[in-house]
């Protein structure tokens, strides 16, 4: 059974960097064709795709967030991470990591993401 678990601070101050890690079990983040995304949901709004790191380490980002976002991985720990720089209160959201079989940059057919973390609330506030 594939499981994903987000971890990181629940409170970040404005202008700082939000850092989250997704720990994966039951599958390898280097499994061929797998793609590992970060997705968020602000309060009262829909899901927003933020970016993805594919099995080969290539990364792709939502153009609206690209200047502030970095996704990296640690294959020895089977983890991938999100950094979102210069956060504002508008970045307050539940943040999810999710797996998809096959890379589809920016895909919003959420049912095709076969495994999700439980989500972690991040609040940006001073």
pLDDT tens across 35-89, in order?
999 999 999 999 999 999 999 999 999 999 999 999 999 999 999 999 999 999 9
Determine how many CB atoms are found less than 10 A away from the CB of residue 74: 12
Return the pLDDT at 56. 97
Over residues 25-30, the mean pLDDT reads 97
Residue 107 has pLDDT above 90, yes or no: no
The whole-chain average pLDDT of the chain stands at 96
Return the pLDDT at 33. 93
Over residues 92-103, the mean pLDDT reads 96
Q: Give Cβ neighbours of residue 10 (< 8 Å, ≥ 6 apart).
A: 120, 121, 122, 123
Residue 119 has pLDDT above 90, yes or no: yes
């Amino acid at each position: 059974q594939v499981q994903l678990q987000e971890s990181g601070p629940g409170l970040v101050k404005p202008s700082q960097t939000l850092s989250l890690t997704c720990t994966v079990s039951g599958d390898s983040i280097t499994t061929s064709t797998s793609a590992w995304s970060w997705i968020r949901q602000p309060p009262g709004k829909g899901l927003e795709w933020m970016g993805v790191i594919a099995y080969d380490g290539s990364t792709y980002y939502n153009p609206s967030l690209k200047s502030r976002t970095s996704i990296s991985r640690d294959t020895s720990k089977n983890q991938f991470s999100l950094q979102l720089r210069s956060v504002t209160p508008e970045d307050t959201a539940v943040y999810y990591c999710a797996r998809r079989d096959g890379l589809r940059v920016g895909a919003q057919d959420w049912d095709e993401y076969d495994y999700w973390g439980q989500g972690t609330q991040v609040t940006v506030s001073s």
